[in-house]
Structure 1
Amino acid sequence: MFLALNEIRHSKLRYALVIGVTFLIAYLVFFLSGLAYGLAQQYQLAVNKWDATDILLSDKANDTLAMSMIDLDAINQVNAKDKAVLAQTPGIILNVKKTDDKQNVSFFGIKKDEFLKPNITEGKLFSKTGEVVADNSLKTRYHYKLGDKVKLATNDQELTIVGFTDNAKFSVSPVLYSSLNTFKMIRYGKSASQQTLTVNAIVTKGKLTDKPAGLKKLSIPEFINVQPGYHAQVLTFSFMIGFLVVIAAVVIGIFIYVLTMQKIAIFGVMKAQGISSSYIAKSVIAQTILLSAGGVIAGLILTLLSSLALPDAVPFQNNPMFLAGIGILIILVAILGALFSVRSIVKIDPLKAIG
């Protein structure tokens, strides 16, 4: 460790460049992981709030919630610890005061006495037809307030926001919760009274012991994974982050290898003086740990500072376990890259190195 620190002090600029490159790559990896995790969470925040075990969809729906149609009475044939019906449809809302202000949303029709009801951060839960509870992003990003009226772009029905809830996103869109009667109005418009309401899913908690024919059971993780676009997005970001980690290791390994080759004569003199190859090798490994750890920590600090300055529109979210795992992985792979330098040190012949 003494030799490693002494070399870094002696050649500050040279080693600062190594730390700088590591810092930039680590920052890019951490930032991409924050974007990937934040975007993935926006597919499932509302689902995570259910704290459910399974979801039942029509077996003809190809695991797609919006395509599933289930009779409302089917819930009576489901045997589980706790159960709730869910009606869902995507939609577009307009601000009544600003008709050119449009937002894509996802409507959840639920029963207010079942476990799918949202927690209320402001206002109250819906109690009348036409009332909805909205995700907080509609307030913070689009400046909606309690009592604001919104119009559906599809059928001109008006809804009133009576409450707000947090962390309610589904397939990236903010969720509006309503009663089943309101949902029927949202789906069918003026002809709602003539239509028979069907729901899209039955959500259960605990062990499911019986279900009606024609329904398919998916665990909540399976249901999240089959959401359109979710799996492809997670794979894309995972490969990007993985390749960046490998690139970081290769870059650090090359830097350490070049620096080692430049010091062959010095190492030859040290070996001629009786200093063992293992001691020199340990110094190179220690040096790699210091350089990579310095770059990783600097990248982490800048990532945390950057997250504070990002606007609400950016789906960025830090996960401490992901950040720690990626940081440790970068350091470990960098050490693996430095082992090539150790191999060269072991092979140094003191007489040839000195010349």
Structure 2
Amino acid sequence: MSLAWKEMKYYKFRFILIMMIILLLGLMVLFISGLAKGLGRENISLLDNMNASNYVMQEKKQPQLQTSILNHHQSDQIEEVVNQRPLKLASDKIYTNKDEESIILTNTVKNDKPKLKEGRYPKEDKEVAINEKLTSQGISVGDTIKLKGNHKVKVSGILNDTMYSHSSVVMMSDNGFNKQVSKAAKVYPIKNLSEKQKNKLNAIDGVKVYSQDDITQEIPSYQAEQAPLNMMIVSLFVITAIVLSAFFYVMTIQKISQIGILKAIGIKTKHLLLSLVTQILITTLAGVLLAIIIVSGLSIFMPVSMPFHLELTNIGLVIVIFIIVGIVGAILSFIKLFRIDPIEAIGGAEE
């Protein structure tokens, strides 16, 4: 540790340069990770916020919430097993200040509901709770907006980050929803479902129990967005490994004579290796932590309409991967350290 720190102070410009490169790469990785997570949440945050493990809906090759049409007979059979009312969904539009936006309209269910950020759930027929992204249009609790058909409704609450397939969710009371929508999709979000109940539900004609993953994979925009963004993140990790490998290998070559002297006076290779690993860890952690502080600070000022979301698990994963990538990238330097012969190094010879 002492050897590593002394060398870093002596060659501080080199290590600052490495740290700045890691900082820039960390900024790009964190920003793209936040963007990927944000875009992903715009597709599936309704499912996450419902806190359900299974969804009972119309049997289809491509199960999608908004296309699940169940008749009264099927609904009655399902409700006999699960003893709860359905979540209804329909496409609609809201109109504010001459702007219009497509939304997913849902009813208010008694079981798990998306959490509120502000206000209360709708109770009256002409009340709605809107997704917080719609507040970027200047809508707030107490305002009046229009739905399709020129129906005026009052905003009673703001839902916390609730979207599906890039459309904001707007929630109405059950009666209000039935008056606004003539034909709606029906699904039954179930938190705890026994194997016996699952078998009974799957035995109903035209009905099947799906997991959240089954539904997520069938959202058209989800995979199309996540695949290229994840590929960009992987590419940045590969670039980081190449950059660190080049920097530390060149630095090791430049220090061959010094390393040879250290070996000749009895410094063991494992101590030199520990010094190199310590340098990699310090520069990598410093660069990544600075990137986290900058991105976290910027996220506070990002508009609510921007699809950006970072969780502690994502940040922790980025730190761990950067450390692993840094060590992997310096493997050439490790090999060089083991192969340096003290006599040849002191004499200025190179392999």
Match of 1:49 in 2: 49
2:18 maps to which residue? 18
Task: Please tell me whether residue 203 in structure 1 is matched to residue 204 in structure 2.
Answer: no
Counterpart Cα distance in 2 of 1:126 and 1:309: 30
Cα shift at 1:252: 0.9
SS at match of 1:207: coil
Take 2:118 and 2:258, find their aligned partners in 1: how far apart are those partners? 69
1:80 and 1:204 in contact (8 A); partners too = no
Contact 2:18 2:247 in 1 (8 A): yes
Q: Which amino acid aligns with 2:163?
A: K
- SS for the counterpart of 2:85 is strand
Please tell me whether residue 126 in structure 1 is matched to residue 122 in structure 2. Answer: yes
Name the aligned partner's letter for residue 192 of structure 2. G
Q: Name the SS of the counterpart of 1:84 in structure 2.
A: coil
Q: Is 1:76 aligned to 2:64, yes or no?
A: no
**Pick aligned residue for 1:239 from 231, 245, 262:** 231
- AA in 1 matched with 2:143: D
What amino acid is the match of 1:157? H
How many residues align structurally? 340
Please give the per-residue CA displacement for 1:192-215, whole angstroms capped at 9, x wherever unaligned: xxxxx5543222232151222101
Query: How far off its partner does 1:322 sit?
Result: 1.3
Q: CA RMSD in A?
A: 2.3
Where 2:137 maps in the other structure, the secondary structure is coil
| Residue identity matched to 2:32 | L
CA distance in 2, matches of 1:121, 1:267: 60
Q: Does 1:108 align with 2:103?
A: no
Provide the rounded CA distance (Å) in 2 between the counterparts of 1:238 and 1:326. Answer: 13
Whole-Å Cα distance in 2 between the matches of residues 324 and 199 of structure 1? 39
- Structure with the larger strand share: 1
What is the percentage of aligned positions where both structures have the same residue?
26
* Inter-partner Cα distance in structure 1 for 2:292 and 2:88: 42
2:328 equivalent in structure 1: 336
Q: Is the 8 A contact 2:74 2:207 kept in 1?
A: no
Q: Which residue identity lines up with residue 170 of structure 2 in the other structure?
A: L
Contact 1:132 1:163 in 2 (8 A): yes
Contact 1:84 / 1:116 at 8 angstroms: preserved in 2? no
TM-superposed CA distance for 1:25, in Å, is: 0.6
TM-score normalized with structure 2 length: 0.88
In structure 2, the CA distance between the partners of 1:82 and 1:9, relative to structure 1 (3 Å rule), is farther
1:286 to 1:82, Cα distance in 2 relative to 1, 3 A? farther
**Residues 223 and 158 of structure 1, relative CA distance in 2, 3 Å threshold:** same
TM-score (structure 1 length as normaliser): 0.87
Superposed counterparts of 1:1-355, under 5 Å: 1-60=1-60, 62-78=62-78, 80-81=81-82, 83-95=84-96, 98=97, 100-111=98-109, 114-139=110-135, 141-153=136-148, 155-188=149-182, 197-207=183-193, 209=197, 210-211=200-201, 212-355=204-347
Q: Which runs of 5+ in 2 are unaligned?
A: none
**Gap change, CA 1:88 and 1:283, over 3 Å in 2:** same
Local SS of the residue matching 2:193: strand
